[in-house]
Amino acid sequence: MEKLNALRKMLKRRGIDALLVTQPENRRYLSRYSAIDSSIAESSGVLLIPRRGTPLLLTDSRFELHAVAEAEGFEIMLYPKGLLPLLQKLLPKLGVKRLGFESHYLLHATAGKLTALASKLGIELVPLVGLIEKMRLRKEAGEIAGIEKSVLLNEQVFQEVFATLRAGQSEREVAMRIENTMLGMGAERPSFATIVAGGPNGAAPHAVPGTRPLREGEPIVIDMGLVLDGYCSDMTRTVVLGAPDQKTVELFRLVRRAQLAATNVIRAGITGREADRAAREVISAAGLGDRFGHGLGHGVGLAVHEAPSLNRRNGKKLQSGMIITVEPGVYLPGWGGIRLENMGVVEENGCRILNRDTTFLDV
């Protein structure tokens, strides 16, 4: 309700009578309705938030029970013939003259149909970008607690699987065991496709786990996250079976120093660019700046990738209550990669790291 009220104030300020919410995490943020969209073309429902009166969740009969069970305070309406015919009836009844929509989560073709409908009804359409995302940037205490739970469960899963990691297991087999353990321990689902990349495969930051067996001595990148009560976690550890060689140890220490350097500067008021630079300088000083080809981190919340970005392009200041990843990496084609990723809360005076797992962090 608080969130809805805050949103309504923003609508009022913009002279918008109702907002159509199509973005799935925004929908969940406002309504608690947790259904998953298999793609943007297969939506499990949209919210229609009038500036006054009962908010609506519009969906189809397949999701009715789910919607009724979760979207407390919302009126559930079904669209047996699709969304637009329902809007055609609903918008005039609600007296909507200016309708906001999420330009960053509506297909061009759908927007075209909505425009035709609006003009028929004499309604003005107002494209909005990132309005609710902006509300989601700074997390409330309850959200931070939820994210922390997600982080800690993810670590438990990691530790359980790490304890059984052996040379000869394939990347794919380990990734499957990680995802099964997540579900077995109560996660809703993985927050992204788990990465397990051994040796040379680790040189691609977004490696897809394959049939290659893990070997002793090589760096193994494990990047994993889960969704718990809607909130995501995201963690990377690079581990070695048996003894790491000197090169590996040196690169580990380099990446860890970069991570700590960034963690030490992150606080409310510094920019995403400054945070990124703190890590990048450490890696560049070792002559490997061009082997750290991605940004330092990203926000995490209901989405596993959300604002703010910690990279060279983001000149905006971090704010307290933001949750971010700190994940520098070094990737050497033919050899492999090392990436270390923790999540932290941006606070007035620093960055409170949510992770407790220290596996291979201090080789």
Largest CA distance in the chain: 72
Region 302-331 residues binding a second copy, contact defined as CB under 8 A: 305, 313
Residue 6 sits in the site that holds a second copy (CB under 8 A): no
Phi-psi region of 45 (alpha: psi -120 to 50; beta: other; left: phi over 0): left
Give how many residues touch a second copy by CB under 8 A. Answer: 42
3-state secondary structure 148-206: HHHHHHHHHHHHHHHCCCCCCCEHHHHHHHHHHHHHHCCCCEECCCCEEEEHHHHHCCC
DSSP one-letter code for 358: -
332/361 with CB nearer a second copy = 332
Residue 176 sits in the site that holds a second copy (CB under 8 A): yes
Q: Choose, by CB under 8 A, the member of 109, 141, 163, 243 that binds a second copy.
A: 109
> Residue 261: helix, strand or coil by DSSP?
helix
277/351 with CB nearer a second copy = 277
24/244 with CB nearer a second copy = 24
Phi, psi of 151 (to 5 degrees): -60, -45
Q: Choose, by CB under 8 A, the member of 183, 216, 250, 359 that binds a second copy.
A: 183
Residue 66 sits in the site that holds a second copy (CB under 8 A): yes
C-alpha to C-alpha distance for 339 and 114, rounded to whole angstroms? 45
Q: Choose, by CB under 8 A, the member of 6, 52, 65, 168 that binds a second copy.
A: 65
58/345 with CB nearer a second copy = 58
C-alpha to C-alpha distance for 17 and 203, rounded to whole angstroms? 51
* Interface residue list for a second copy (CB under 8 A): 36, 38-42, 61-66, 81, 101, 103-112, 127, 129, 172, 176, 180, 183-184, 192-193, 203-206, 208, 293-294, 305, 313
